[in-house]
Amino acid sequence: MSFPSLPPRLELVVLLVGVVAGYNLTLQILPRERIDFAQLELDEQIAERVALRPTVAPVTVASIASTESAAEPSSAGTCLVPPGGGPAVNDRFEPC
């Protein structure tokens, strides 16, 4: 019993459509984990500050929020972390 064969170009099209469909399904199924490097850096800075303190002082949410919104002065203006996360940028959108 012989199987019907497809022309080579049609076989390639079917293969590519299958790959694209599989890729799209994989992206929908797998969780999208985004690493926020700016938040990781802030967490490390806070952990260092807590470790350097001789007495244990509770860290409040207000102090963390004020640390996030603080702007660092630089030669090109102020450096801010975008609301969506990411690297700190200045007024000209250059990394600080």
Contacts for 68 with CB less than 8 Å, ≥ 6 apart: 42, 81
What element of type H or E holds 74?
strand 72-74
Q: Determine the pLDDT at residue 17.
A: 97
Q: What are 80's strand-pairing partners?
A: 89
In tens digits, the chain (96 residues) has pLDDT values of: 667 788 999 999 999 999 999 999 888 887 666 677 888 888 888 888 888 776 545 555 554 545 444 444 445 567 777 777 777 777 777 777
Give the C-alpha separation, 46 to 63, whole Å. 10
- The model's pTM is 0.32
Give the C-alpha separation, 37 to 86, whole Å. 6
